[in-house]
Amino acid sequence: MINIQARVQHLVERGGYRIWEVSETVRECDPARTALVLCDVWDRHTCRGAEERLARLLPGIALVVERFRNAGALIVHAPSDTIDFYKGLPARERVKTVSGSVDASPPADHPHEVPPLPIDPTDPCDTCPDSDHPEHRTGMPYPWTRQHAAIEIDQERDVVSADGTELWKYYSARGIDQVIIAGVHTNMCILNRTFAIKQLVRWGFSPILLRDLTDCMYSPEKSPYVSHEEATGLVVGYIEKFWCATASSVHISTE
C-alpha cells in the first residue's frame, strides 16, 4: 500500500470570518491501481531559470519514481512534444498496444468552474535571455527534445505517453484509478495538458500533485509582485482550493 498525506483547502466560516482552512487526510492507494505521471520533465527549456530549478528537483523526482516503481505503481513518462523520440521503444509501444485494444472513449467532462490564476503568467520567465536560451523572446522552435536523462525509464514496466485519451484507455485497461503528478509547470502544463489535473478532474479522478516536486512559470515583475518561490506556493494553494489535493513527497510511505 502507498499512503499519501494529502492536503486540500476549503472556504469555511470561523468566528464570523470566512477563511481558507487546510485539511489533511491520509489517502491509501493500491499500487496496482496507482500511476505516477511525470509532466514535461524536459531536457531543455526556453528559460534558464526553469532549467536551474528543475535541476534542483531532479534528485527528488528520481527518488520518488524509484519508490513508486518498487512499490508496484505504474510510472508514466509524459514529455509533451517529444514523444517521437521514443518511437519503437517498449515503454512507448506498450501504451499504444494496450490503449489501441480498448474499444471505449473517455466519459463526458464533468462541469467544473475555472477561477482565475493567482499569478500573471504573461511573461513566464524570470531570467534574462542569454545566448543559450534565445527562444523565450525570439519565437524560435522549442529546445526540448526528450525527457531529462536524469530520470530513468524502465522499458519493462513504465509507459511513455503525453496524450490524455491514450492514457485514459491505458488506465481503464490496467484498472488505474489514482493518479499522482510531479513535474513542471504548475500554472501551465500541470493544470492544462490533456493528461493532467484539469482533465483528470473532469473525468472524475481525484489526482494528487506532489507540491515539492514542481515549479511555476512566472516573473516577479508581474502581478502579484512576489518571489518565484512565493508564486509557486500561490499556484499550489490555488490547486488545493479549486482542483485537487497536493502532497509532499516526504509524507509518502510505501509498504
Among residues 179, 187, 169, the alpha carbon closest in space to that of 231 is found at 187
pLDDT at position 133, please? 65
Is residue 168 domain-resident? yes
- Domain membership of residue 124 (yes or no) is no
Q: Indicate if the alpha-carbon torsion angle 56, 62, 67, 72 is positive or negative.
A: positive
The helix (run of H) or strand (run of E) holding residue 233 is helix 228-242
Q: Assess if residue 125 is contained within a domain.
A: no
Cβ atoms of 201 and 244 within 8 Å: the answer is yes
Residues of the chain with pLDDT under 70: 129-140
Does residue 73 form part of some domain? yes
Q: What's the pLDDT tens digit per position in 86-96?
A: 999 999 999 99
What CATH number is associated with residue 201? 3.40.50.850
State residue 61's pLDDT score.
Answer: 98
Those residues whose C-beta lies under 8 Å from the C-beta of residue 44, and which sit 6 or more positions away, are: 51, 143, 144, 145
Instruction: Flag whether 15 is in a domain.
Output: yes
What's the pLDDT score for residue 135?
53
| DSSP label of 115 | P
Tens-digit pLDDT profile for residues 96-149: 999 999 999 999 999 999 999 999 999 888 887 666 666 555 555 789 999 999
Buried b (16+ CB within 10 A) or exposed e, 104-138: eebeeeeeeeeeebbbbbeebbbeeeeeebebbee
On whether residue 110 sits in a domain, the answer given is no
Residue numbers of the domain that contains 238 = 2-105+140-254
Residue 40 domain-assigned (yes or no): yes
The predicted model scores a pTM of: 0.95
Check if the beta carbon of residue 129 is closer than 8 Å to that of residue 218: no
Grid cell, residue 175, equals: 484498472
Cell of residue 85, nine digits: 523520440
Choose among 245, 219, 247: nearest CA to 232: 219
Task: Answer whether residue 135 is part of any domain.
Answer: no
Number of domains in the chain: 1
- Report the pLDDT value the prediction gives residue 130, as an integer from 0 to 100: 62
